[in-house]
Amino acid sequence: MREFPGTTGLVFNEPLLWEKAKKGRCGMSLPRRDVDPAPLDDDLAGDAPDFPDLSEVDVVRHYTRLSQWNFAVDLGMYPLGSCTMKYNPKINEKLAAIPGFAGAHPLLPVEIAQGALRLMFELERFLTEITGLDAVSLQPAAGAQGELAGMLMIHAFHKSKGSHRTKIIVPDTAHGTNPASAALCGYVPVKVRSNDQGILSPEAVAAVTDEETAGIMITNPNTLGLFEENISQIARIVHEKGGLVYCDGANMNAVMGIVDAKKMGVDIQHLNLHKTFSTPHGAGGPGSGPVCVTEQLARFLPVPRIVQRNGQYAFSEEYPESIGKLHAFYGNFGVMIKAYSYILTMGPQLKRVSELAVLNANYVKEKLKSVLHLPHDRPCMHECVFSDRFQKDHKITTLDMVKRLMDYGFHPPTIYFPLVVEGAIMIEPTETESKEDLDLFIDAFKAVAKEAEQAPELLRQAPGRCKVKRLDETSAARHPCLSG
């Protein structure tokens, strides 16, 4: 009998630190003072912060116990679609912690920051080769900011031509932040529905493209995990009306070394270094969302740009048509170090990464389509999307199934997204999961689907083995407790 990783092993409860504290306890020993105390004036110091008094063992046990409550990619697979929660080599974390990098101040003179500047300069060159585009800025601090930079450059491009345009086309299979990024730049997002194959048809794009169209934001592969195979024809339609093509590259993990964005007709593409290139994604950051462009748009990239002159690397703001700065300094440098290390390590094997990610997703799709409804039964890319249609007769929902999956020891996949699929279950296994682990996940989901028919009440009460049992999510959303 196959043994699943879920268990009811010993997990400790843990109160708030203030509930554990006892006055006078101390978690560290300070060296003997060799100067006289000089207390601050009360008017300057103000009220002291309310720190709990704890011993060292209190502190160690507190955080160790809390760590038992968390799921992590070091414990098991994260099948979250559109997130690329893959295991990443620990060596890249070590390299990002090299003192010369980790301790570098952002205001260092360029003369003593040559190593950091060279790394960023070369990383830009790597990303142009991987995407097929001509120029890159590493400045955007996350994917959404990369989108914003793309929209600002589209606006700057049309302004340079004396043209005022009002609309951005956004497919229903685009990432959720795309319409917001367009609206932030003053554009009206125009929704286009995907066809019965789950992709955009050129006819639908042509119907909404006119001289008011500034561009299109297209996610490829899209959020259904399908490749937009008509993208070149769509790009021609938009270009013929004077618009630009923006490609959301958050799903780059499926196409590295396989597609050339420029040859597809893409003018702008952002990447997520924190998804595709070796930074564990999630928990709120950090992120990095470089934006890549064709030569005609390079002059609009954010400043400062990293340039090489006379064998030296430096920042330059000598780009009068630039959209300007997106934020202070240059983003999350540690993420760039990890991406640089990952790319150098993998080299041409980046293509193999994508091939295995696609293979794993199609393996999961084929193995589960007998027990879960598959809206689009065709080869997928790095992720596959199911729904709960087969389970509705038993009054079991997507939420019920993934809650029960937790009892088997697996993190739930993405649910209820993309919105174009009712009751969506989006699974992205990533290339770092072995066949044995995929088979465990597949068997667990099959077991849950069987329970949906034979013991539906078990699913409605799930999870039963986790530290925290089934939550009242409706009440939590309507009456959140934010006071701690």
Overall average pLDDT of the 356-376 stretch: 98
Element (H, E) at 275: helix 273-276
pLDDT, tens digit (0-9, with 9 covering 90-100), for 409-463: 999 999 999 999 999 999 999 999 999 999 999 999 999 999 999 999 999 999 9
CB 77 within 8 A of CB 410: yes
Paired residues of 314 in beta bridges? 307
At 9 the pLDDT is: 83
This prediction's pTM: 0.92
Give, in order, the Cα–Cα distances in Å from 422 to each of 65, 196, 374, 391, 442: 38, 15, 11, 13, 22
In the predicted structure, residue 1 carries a pLDDT above the cut 60: no
The Cα 331–Cα 351 span in angstroms is 27
At 282 the pLDDT is: 65
At 414 the pLDDT is: 96
Domains of the chain: 92-348 (3.40.640.10), 351-474 (3.90.1150.10)
Radius of gyration (C-alpha) of the chain in whole angstroms = 25
Place of tokens 């598959």: 374
Overall average pLDDT of the 335-363 stretch: 97
The Cα 101–Cα 404 span in angstroms is 44
At 29 the pLDDT is: 84
The Cα 215–Cα 236 span in angstroms is 11
pLDDT, tens digit (0-9, with 9 covering 90-100), for 463-484: 999 988 898 888 888 988 776 5
Cis omega before residue 413 (within 30°)? Answer: no
At 163 the pLDDT is: 95
pLDDT, tens digit (0-9, with 9 covering 90-100), for 100-144: 999 999 899 999 999 999 999 999 999 999 999 999 999 999 999
Paired residues of 426 in beta bridges? 385, 414
Q: Which of 32-41, 225-234, 238-247, 282-291 has the lowest mean pLDDT?
A: 282-291
> Residue 292's closest CA among 130, 120, 180?
130
The Cα 382–Cα 82 span in angstroms is 9
- State the burial class of residue 19 (Cβ atoms within 10 Å of its Cβ: 0-12, 13-18, 19+): exposed
At 8 the pLDDT is: 83
CB 178 within 8 A of CB 170: yes
pLDDT, tens digit (0-9, with 9 covering 90-100), for 50-69: 889 999 999 999 999 998 88
Angle, helices 398-407 vs 435-454, to 10°: value is: 120
In the predicted structure, residue 344 carries a pLDDT above the cut 90: yes
The Cα 177–Cα 267 span in angstroms is 19
The Cα 472–Cα 464 span in angstroms is 14
Paired residues of 137 in beta bridges? 291
Cis omega before residue 418 (within 30°)? Answer: yes
Dmax (CA) for the chain in angstroms is 81
The Cα 380–Cα 361 span in angstroms is 7
Place of tokens 């990293």: 306
Structure tokens at 37: 């105390």
Paired residues of 309 in beta bridges? 312
CB 238 within 8 A of CB 213: yes
Using H for helix, E for strand and C for coil, what is the string for 360-420?
Answer: HHHHHHHHHCCCCECCCCCCCCCCEEEECHHHHHHCCCHHHHHHHHHHCCCCCCEECCCCC
The Cα 399–Cα 422 span in angstroms is 12
The Cα 22–Cα 365 span in angstroms is 55
How does residue 280 score in pLDDT terms, banded at 50, 70 and 90? Answer: confident
Q: Give the whole-number percent of the chain exceeding pLDDT 70.
A: 99
Place of tokens 């109160």: 15
CB 251 within 8 A of CB 382: yes
In the predicted structure, residue 270 carries a pLDDT above the cut 70: yes
At 468 the pLDDT is: 87
Give, in order, the Cα–Cα distances in Å from 143 to each of 88, 225, 338: 19, 18, 17
